[in-house]
Amino acid sequence: MDYLDMLAKLGVGNAHPGGFSETIEQLEQYPIKKGSKILEVGCGTGRTACYLSSQGYKVTAIDIREDMLEKARVRAKAEKVKVNFIKADVTSLPFDSNQFDVVMVESVTVFTDHTLSCSEYFRVLKPKGTLYDREMVVTKKIPVNYQKEMIEFYGFKKMMSVLEWTEQLYEVGFSHVEIWKPAKFNSDMWKKEMKFPDENQQADADVYENKEVFEAVKKYEELMNAYHKYIGYAVLIGQKL
């Protein structure tokens, strides 16, 4: 079982770096104009998408996994919000160009062909639209064998530094790129998440008896403990003219 399968089984709603607490912090630091049309890419079980909808935004959210979308729809019903959930591939978005004021991404692009994904973010944004992409970043050179192990477990296409991510966004057409709150992974990040318990997390019924899930969680913890000094995360903010 790989990382994404594990998340789907557990129904995790805040798996991205920094968790839901930093999503809230980001939205406070960079408030989105009321009435904005938002696309969330790789919405998973829909926690961020549903929160945005509860704040009055018109939200479309996509994910490539139907099992994630099923849980996202259940969440939206429980939270009494409206989100347009669509099964789609980020590298080929099913939308016309210049459709959204904001594209919101939380640890998704790293799992895809970066050039294709970033090009699609740029294409579907309206002029003067903004991309907010929270991604894992390489903070120091990773030994080849370590990088291979992480890529195989997580399913990353490629691991990049802040500079490489920035260059990627400029390359596809963004006119200005800002990096917000670059950070390292640390052992007490979970404490911030306790302030925002996920009341609508939907783990599969058999998840706590599933040996493969247990082994995947153990592998995740081992990798993070072993290699956290090589990786961190940051929010990439791209502006489209």
At residue 232, what are phi and psi to the nearest 5 degrees? -150, -155
For the chain, percent of residues with pLDDT exceeding 70? 97
- Rounded CA-CA distance 63/72 in Å is 10
Q: Pairing state of beta strands 100-106 and 125-138? A: parallel
Whole-prediction pTM: 0.95
Per residue in 159-213, pLDDT (tens digit) is: 999 999 999 999 999 999 999 999 988 756 656 667 788 999 999 988 888 999 9
Domains by residue range for the chain, with CATH: 15-142+157-200+229-239 (3.40.50.150)
Contact of 241 with 122, CB cutoff 8 Å: no
**DSSP letters for 106-164:** ES-GGGS-HHHHHHHHHHHEEEEEEEEEEEEEE-SPPPHHHHHHHHHHH--S----HHH
Q: What does the pLDDT read at residue 107?
A: 95
Distance CA 239, CA 74 (A): 33
Positive/negative CA dihedral, 88, 198, 104, 149: negative
In whole angstroms, give the CA distance from residue 117 to residue 94.
Answer: 13
What pLDDT does 189 receive? 60
Tokens of residue 86, six digits: 């669509």
End-to-end Cα distance, the chain = 42
- pLDDT < 70 regions, the chain: 187-193
The predicted pLDDT at position 188 comes to 60
pLDDT at position 1 is 85
